[in-house]
Amino acid sequence: MTVQPASKSAAAIDRARDAGRSALVCYLPAGYPDVQATIDAGIAMAENGADLIEIGIPYSDPVMDGPVIQAATTEAIANGFRVESVFDVVAGITAATDVAVLVMTYWNPVVRMGVDEFSRRLVEAGGAGLITPDLIPDEASEWFAASDKYGLDRVFLVAPSSTPERLAMTVKASRGFVYAVSIMGVTGTRQAVSSSAERLVADTHAAGAERVCVGLGVSNASHVREIAAYADGVIVGTALVAAIRDGGVPAVADLTRDLSTGLIREEA
Amino acid sequence: MVDAPSENADNNAADAFLQGGSLKHAPGPYFGGYGGRWMPESLIAALDELEDTFEKAKADPEFLAQLSDLNKNYSGRPSLLTEAKRFSEHAGGARIFLKREDLNHTGSHKINNVLGQALLAKRMGKTRVIAETGAGQHGVASATAAALLGLECVVYMGAEDCRRQALNVARMQLLGATVVPVVNGSQTLKDAINDALRDWVSNVDNTHYLLGTAAGAHPFPAMVRFFHEVIGEEARAQILEQTGKLPDAVCACIGGGSNAIGIFHGFLDDPSVKIYGFEAGGDGVETGRHAATITLGKPGVLHGARSYLMQDDDGQTIESHSISAGLDYPGVGPEHAYLADIGRVSYEPITDSEAMDAFKLLCRTEGIIPAIESSHALAGAIKVGKRLTEGSADPSETVVIVNLSGRGDKDVETAAEWFDMLDEEGKVKGTNLSTRKPKGPSDRAEPEAVPTTAAPATSAADNNEDQN
């Protein structure tokens, strides 16, 4: 991974590392139930232990998402969510906190706006970069150019099925951190964290990644504790979406605080 | 991606056509600026494995012999090329020939592709296949191939399509497949593909995704075309035998575009042959309720490929509309996008109404009930025939081939509704015959494989029963 001091995500992860713990990465989709609620929830996550925040763009065909996130993003679109509102969310959170804010998006909305234009507006809003679940480095030449031009982080995904060659290539292409998908599947809460995650993180580190965060199926402090033992960051999504759905911003704040208790690495 | 194609232009067979080379064997992953792999990393290893298996199989005489044997002795290939003499009178007098994919086992071209892919699944050691289906034809074909080769089969089908094509749901269940009604989004083909992709990413170790059209991530567009190339190769030889010359035009309907790319393949390198793809114009392209992706869409990425796409200003996919479930898809195969851009193939919309007129005309003039999908190609052929024969002293010199991609048995209820043949209870007017519930042991329990949510068609039938 190219190490650039300008990477906001890397800096946030390093701050956590310096404090002797993994970083907590919290996801919510923009515009669910409305744009202001996402800003309020983002600030609440930052104030209750999140080091990085991922704001998802609701998309009509979210093939990597399970039922909870699908339902939330479908509702956001039905409520009139427009893609450019994501910049308001990013700006709203970065203005009030010092967390790194990334946008997680399927690729077509970025293509439609124009990769350069999207990147320019993301930087203007204070965003750290993009997480791209359906964009692989092989197809990302336009994104390489724009992310270099604007100094944005490029967070690509690696999976238990990734070959050593693809791990090496993806690590090299990424900036900020590498997103390790803990299991072969879509987003959603699960009983246990897959054993494949630890091996994938080790392989990704061995391939040269300095920062690897684990997501998919992480939903409680116990999961966080398990992953924090070997990963640089722990990503939680579906559980937070369920929290905002059922209890609004206060529930998001409570869950984030609880999740953060799992971050401290117990000394062996 | 804008700059990806230039990197691949040198080895892109499609580009070579512009310099007098060949278009028909474009290998992917790119077709001009379209195609590629816009997919989650989790699935890349499976796509690589599939590509590798396909490339080896294509060069393996044993595999080709196996496929050819199934095509001949199971599907019933070659399919006929039938001259539609009475129908031709309505097309300016041009001679219209029908490539009879409707006569294949399972009633459409879909069997060509599923047999090929199911054989590949076996080669990869997969024990389970999943498929999406719109009209149900691909689901039926997949269930058929799975039964034949001893594979488990799960078919994702939009709940709205399950309602429109209840007969095909039952057919798949009879063949031992599990049908999962998809209730997300518009509950049609694109949402079925989304759910199939979610299944695939979760079960990729033992599962092959048997994609039904020449779209999606590489190697699917080139691979699905390969399995359908037999349509074009047969049609070319048959028309030469029957008329002694190449046709003036070839017509096919376009949803994702697999039947079309199969027949086009036979003629892409014959510059004298005009090629037409007919998209679903729905209520009319001016109404916004259509599936005319190439005519009105804009380039974007969906389901793994860059291609034309019906999308709004935010890049959200727009729901498509067509009377034909098989054409009701807001995307299109990337090779078609390329063929449209370079002008080799003309793509035009056909409205529901035009398609249904052609449907009825073929029934009445030739004794063939076509699929509503294929009726779009028939309606297009009428226009093309009139256009090409205008001012001609001998219109019968003009020869047009239509790919009759499927038979219309599955569409009888839709057609009966369209032509106002049903009363309010869904019975054929003037009779006591219901199109919705065949006579039979209605009180018997549903087959085990049917999820309880698979009920839209059944509950409609039950309502009828209550009214009786």
Q: What is the C-alpha separation between A126 and A131, in angstroms, rounded?
A: 15
Residue B135 phi, psi dihedral angles, 5° rounding = -70, -20
Show the tokens assigned to B319.
Answer: 């729901």
CB B138 within 8 A of CB B112: no
Catalytically active residues of B are 110, 132, 405
Choose among A192, A170, A168, A171: nearest CA to A182: A192
pLDDT in tens, B332-366: 999 999 999 999 999 999 999 999 999 999 999 99
Q: Which of A135, A170, A184 sits opposite B38 (nearest CB)?
A: A135
CB proximity B311 to A under 8 Å? yes
- The share of chain B scoring above pLDDT 70, in percent, equals 88
For B402, the 3-state DSSP assignment is strand
Q: What is the C-alpha separation between B87 and B382, in angstroms, rounded?
A: 9
- Identify the pLDDT of residue B161: 84
Summary mean pLDDT of chain B = 89
CB proximity A4 to B under 8 Å? no
pLDDT in tens, A2-21: 444 479 999 999 999 999 99
pLDDT at B9 over 90: no
Q: What is the per-residue DSSP string for B420-462?
A: T-B-TTSBBTTSS-BSSS-SS-TTSPPPTTS-TT--HHHHHHH
Q: Residue A112 and residue B300: Cβ atoms within 8 Å?
A: yes
For B395, the 3-state DSSP assignment is helix
**pLDDT-based confidence at residue B3 (cuts at 50, 70, 90):** very low
Q: Give the sheet arrangement for strand B207-209, strand by strand.
A: B178-182, B152-158, B128-133, B207-209
pTM of the model: 0.91
CB B277 within 8 A of CB B257: yes
Q: What is the C-alpha separation between B468 and B455, in angstroms, rounded?
A: 20
Summary mean pLDDT of chain A = 95
As for the ipTM of the complex, it is 0.95
Tell me the nearest-neighbour CA distance from A57 into chain B, angstroms: 11
Say which residues have a Cβ less than 8 Å from residue B177's Cβ, sequence separation at least 6. B139, B142, B143, B146, B147, B153, B154, B155, B449
At position A113, the amino acid (one-letter code) is: M
- Identify the pLDDT of residue A13: 98
Q: Residue A63 and residue B198: Cβ atoms within 8 Å?
A: yes
Residues 191-250 in A contacting B (C-alpha not used; CB under 8 Å) = none
CB proximity A161 to B under 8 Å? yes
**Paired sense of beta strands B207-209 and B298-302, if any:** unpaired
pLDDT in tens, A94-139: 999 999 999 999 999 999 999 999 999 999 999 999 999 999 999 9
- Identify the pLDDT of residue B18: 54
* Residue in chain B nearest A85 by alpha carbon: B314
